[in-house]
Structure formats: structure tokens, C-alpha cells
Amino acid sequence: MFLKKIALAGSMVVFAVSAGSACEIDARVSIVGNEFAAIQAVGAAAQECTGAPVETNLTSEHQTINVAGLSGNPSEYTTAVIANSSIVALMNEDVIRPLNDLVAKHGDGLQQGQLIKIGDDIMAVAFMANAQHLMYRKDVLEKAGVKIPTTYEEMLEVAKAIREQGIMQNPVGGAYAAGWNLAQEFNNMFLGYGGTHFKPGTAEPNINTEAGVKALNMMKALSEYMNPDFLTHDSNATNAEYRAGNVAILNMWGSRASQQTTTEGVLEEVINGHAIAPPLTVGGGTTPASTLWWDGWTVGKNISDEEAEATFVAMKHGIRPDMLNDETSPLAVWLIEGYEPTDAAQGVFAAAQMGTTAYPMLPYMGLLHSALGNELADFMQGKESAEKALTGVEAAYRAAAIEKGFLQ
């Protein structure tokens, strides 16, 4: 993995030199963001800029430090790489600046679709899209004699067939770890059943509904076919199970698709059998039980205009069309001009075409997500009813929303 990163960075330096693409900046740039491969590549490309230091701090703990790191004046970081969920926290705290003037000055080459507009303000530049969709082992499904599922109801049948034929005891994988992951799986299923998280135009929760109960019951039914430790399996652990050949079918992030077969130590049968498919629908609905995401970068508010300009130039250099090559293209579904979708990208594209709902970009969604993550575990363990769990979520959310001033 380490060697690969070096090779990747090396190849990009060579590429930059040979392409002769110049990036001159005259003020410091400091990047904070998540650590997956696609963002690593953007960070490395931004670091090609010369004239002033470009520092990166890419860590899975980015969201616990980005608000604080952008709050000082001048702030530690000049840019945060965020997704549609985490930009909300930065906007709530008013630590990122509108980019309209910088886009007008340096924005040539950016596509309209990349600009994240909140009202009249451009608040971020997106560079990749993400969604959870189906991944499965075609060899196992063939052996069991079942079709590729398109709905969660079919997924249950597939799982039943695989278990009954003794091919795998727990064929279904899922990132159901109590906390953020479990809440996200609920969001998927809830939207798939046609639910909406809030009463329109208010911060009042709206999840203790028929759609909410159905979503929980479907999750419970799926968990019967999962490793009994499922409440401790986050997406990393779930992927490890898949790569070890213990799981045949799962709903997983598109950004992980290309690494399912290239990570060290993956079983041969998994490499040969791995396949991806569009996200599943549920309950006869047409909207997939998934959410659409984008990742992009912002520019901090509490920095000098020179630093802001340098940051914009360097980050734009990080996502310029030239940075796409054989190494970087498969890493993500890029929103960059000239990107040719690879095989690993078809799941996310299918999700977009099927009209998957975007993850709600609301100031209070983070609080509901946390409440879901904390309160659903009891239901999944069969200790309480779905209605009671959802009442608990709404009560926990309400307490938090009153504290933060979203509800009175």
C-alpha cells in the first residue's frame, strides 16, 4: 500500500514535469481532508505547485478537526476537502468563503456541474461523486442459481438460497456498526421507502413513520443473514469480510469499488468473482435505497485574500483534467472534464441515472444522523420495537436540536 502511494506520487510528479503544467502560487496553502485514495491523489497534485508551501493533513478524523482548524484568524488550514454532509458544519459555523470572484478570475476549465451553489453563492468545487450500490460475487450467485437482485426483497431471497445450499452461512455484508454507519444504512432504506427526514421547511423530525418502521424491519431481516458481529462492522471491516471471501453480496460505497480487487491479500476467487451493479430499490419504490454524494473543496474565510487565491489555484491544479491518468482514473467517479468512466464507476453512474436522492444538505441533518446512530442499536439487537426505537431517535434529536437552536 505504501509502495503504491509512492509509485503513485512519483508517477504524478513525472507526469507533471513531462506535461509541463505550471502552477505558481505566492502564499501558503494548507489542506485538511479525508484520507481515501482519490483525495490523496488530489492532494498530491496540488502539492506540485511551486512558489509557496502546500501542506496536506489527510486523515479519517478530518471532520473532528476541520471546523476548529478553519476557525482561528488566520486559520491553520486554508481549505477543507468535504462532502455534502460535512460542508454543512462548515457553513453553520461560517468558516468558509463564497468563491464567486475566484471562480470568475481563475475558474476556466471548471464545469458548471462542479460548482456547489447555495443560493447565489458558490461555496465549494466538487470533484468526485459517490454513492452506495450493490457489489456481489458472480461466481457465488451462479453457483446458487440465483439472479442478480434489483430489490432488497430479492436480496433476501438470494441470501436465503445461498445459506440453504450451504455455500455461505452469512452471505450478506453491511456496514451496520452502531454509530454513523448504522444511521447511514437507515437513511438509505428510509429514502428507498419514500421517507423524508424532516417535515417540509422545518427542523421537525419526520422519521417515526410507516417508511421508518418498514426501513428498520428490512434492516433487521437483512441482519439475520449477516455475521453476528454486524453491529461492530464499519465499512472497513465489511470490506475486509468481502475480500476474505466470507460475504457474497453487499451494499457498499462506490469509492471502494476499485480497491475491492486490488488491495493486498484479496483471495483469488474474490478477484475473479467481484462484480458491481446499480443500487437496489425496496418496497416497490423506484428511487434507489441509497444516497448520492459529492466530494469537493472549499476555501476558508479566516485567511488573507492572497492565501485564498493561492488555495484556489492550487486546488484547481489538483483537479485539473491532466491529473487523470491510468493510476488516478479508477480511484473515483470524477466530475472532472474529460473523465472516461471506468468499470468500477458504473455503479455510481447507475445510481445517478436512477434518480437516487442526494444526502440531505440541511443544517440539522448531522444531529439527526448522530441520534439515529446512537438509538437504533437496541432495535437491531431485538431489544425493542421499531416504533419505540424511532420515538427514541426523535426524542434524542429534539433535545440536541433545541440545544443548537434549530427547534424551540
Other C-beta atoms lying within 10 Å of the C-beta of residue 262? 13
Least distance to another protein, CB of residue 374, Å: 7
- Can you tell me which of 50, 60, 73, 169 binds another protein, judged by CB under 8 A? 169
- Can you tell me which of 50, 165, 232, 385 binds another protein, judged by CB under 8 A? 232
Strand positions, DSSP E, 155-306:
172-173, 249-253, 274-277, 292-297
Q: Is 378 in the site for another protein (CB under 8 A)?
A: yes
Report the alpha-carbon distance of residue 374 to residue 156 in Å, rounded: 26
User: DSSP letters of 32-85?
Assistant: EE--SHHHHHHHHHHTT-BSS-EEEEE-TTHHHHHHHHHHSSS-S-SEEEEETT
Q: Is 384 in the site for another protein (CB under 8 A)?
A: yes
CA-to-CA dists, residue 166 to 34, 161, 238, 396, angstroms: 40, 9, 21, 42
Judged by CB under 8 A, the chain residues 307 through 346 that form the site for another protein are 335
Which residue lies nearer to another protein by CB, 50 or 59? 59
Could you tell me which residues come within 8 angstroms of residue 101 by beta carbon, excluding any fewer than 6 positions away?
none
Q: Is 260 in the site for another protein (CB under 8 A)?
A: no
- Can you tell me which of 99, 207, 218, 396 binds another protein, judged by CB under 8 A? 396
Q: Is 156 in the site for another protein (CB under 8 A)?
A: no
- Can you tell me which of 208, 227, 258, 290 binds another protein, judged by CB under 8 A? 227
Other C-beta atoms lying within 10 Å of the C-beta of residue 17? 10
Q: Is 59 in the site for another protein (CB under 8 A)?
A: no
CA-to-CA dists, residue 132 to 17, 82, 175, 256, angstroms: 36, 17, 11, 9
Q: Is 217 in the site for another protein (CB under 8 A)?
A: no
Binding stretches for another protein (CB under 8 A): 63-64, 67, 84-86, 88-89, 91-92, 94, 113-119, 126, 129, 169, 177-179, 201, 203, 227-232, 234, 292, 294, 335, 352, 358, 360-367, 369-370, 374, 377-378, 380-381, 384, 388, 392, 395-396, 398-400, 402-406, 408
